[in-house]
Structure 1
Amino acid sequence: MEHITSTPTLKAPAERFTGDVYLNMISTPAEPARLAAALVRFTPGARTNWHAHALGQVLHVTDGVGLVGTRDGTVVRVSAGETVTCPPAEEHWHGATDTTLMAHLALVVGDATGDGTTWLEPVTDDQYAAALATVSG
């Protein structure tokens, strides 16, 4: 057993996120386990870049209201207590609404090369605005 009393809060890297995003790593992939888990906090308007996970991802919202979008234009509005599962290789993004912060647990089972995440280009302001319009209309 290992008791971890706290982990440092880090600012998420600007090359993978738009806006102010903070994370606390809970678990990093280490053989034989391959679970990566983090508490991720998004300020209003903040979001990830487009990305995909080799083995999928589970997002469990712990606070606030956010959005999860996919390349086909599907956007869901998520609130505290709700969970979204993203299947393997699905390109998606997630973040806060424009007026409310959002925090979620991000859970990924890594592959042989690490956490299995492929990071892509930023979600544009126009894509973000369209996502907001989709869930508020």
Structure 2
Amino acid sequence: MKIIHGRAEGAQTEQRGATFDGTVWADPILPTTDGVTINSVYFTPGARTHWHRHERGQILQVTTGSGWVCSEGEAPQRLQPGDVVWVPPGERHWHGASTGCAMSHVAISLGTTQWETPVSEDDYLAAQR
């Protein structure tokens, strides 16, 4: 058993950049432990991840705001507070805030993450229609 006490000394909020579009902040909840990483992630309006995959899947729990999640080949799905998303292992997807509202979620990433290309502006804006 391992207990992680809230906001461990030295843990810092990180502004994410290379694999995100827009301004995104992440607070570590559980640094990578046994292949599991947990972060609280804040997306400003219009901010989103690039396309990516998780070796053993990902769980998202929306805590505030409004946003979108989209798996390759499917229509984007609206996210609201209280929604929980299971992304199966290896499924290519993206997620982020809507254009007019910020969004926060807790992201539980299982195994390694394979980051890919940015989501095109056309694909992102299609979610807003």
| TM-score computed with the length of structure 1 as normaliser | 0.86
Please, which of 7, 32, 41 is the counterpart of residue 5 of structure 1?
7
Partner of 2:122, secondary structure, is helix
Cα distance between partner residues in 2 of 1:54 and 1:4 = 27
Instruction: Letter of the 2:117 partner, please give it.
Output: E
CA distance in 2, matches of 1:126, 1:24: 29
1:21 to 14, 24, 45: 24
Matched AA of 1:91: R
What displacement does 1:39 show?
0.3
Instruction: Report SS of the residue matched to 1:3.
Output: coil
Q: CA deviation at 1:8?
A: 1.6
In the alignment, residue 5 of structure 1 is paired with which amino acid?
R
Equivalent-residue separation in structure 2 for 1:28 and 1:85 (angstroms): 20
Deviation at 1:10, TM superposition (A): 1.0
* CA displacement, residues 62-99 of structure 1 (integer Å, 9 cap, x when unaligned): 00011001111321101011101101100000000000
Match of 2:123 in 1: 127
CA offset at residue 2 of structure 1? 4.4
Deviation, structure 1 residue 29: 1.9
Shift in Å, 1:45? 0.3
Between the aligned partners of 1:119 and 1:71, the Cα distance in structure 2 is 14
In the other structure, the counterpart of 1:39 is 40
Residues 12-59 of structure 1 show CA distances to partners (whole Å, capped at 9, x for unaligned) of: 12x2000000000111223xx322000000000000000000101000
**Structure 2, unaligned stretches of length 5 or more?**
none
1:61-80 mapped onto 2 (5 Å cutoff)? 61-80=62-81
Q: Distance in 1 between matches of 2:99 and 2:6?
A: 34
- The alpha-carbon deviation at position 3 of structure 1 amounts to 2.4
Gaps of 5+ in 1: 111-115
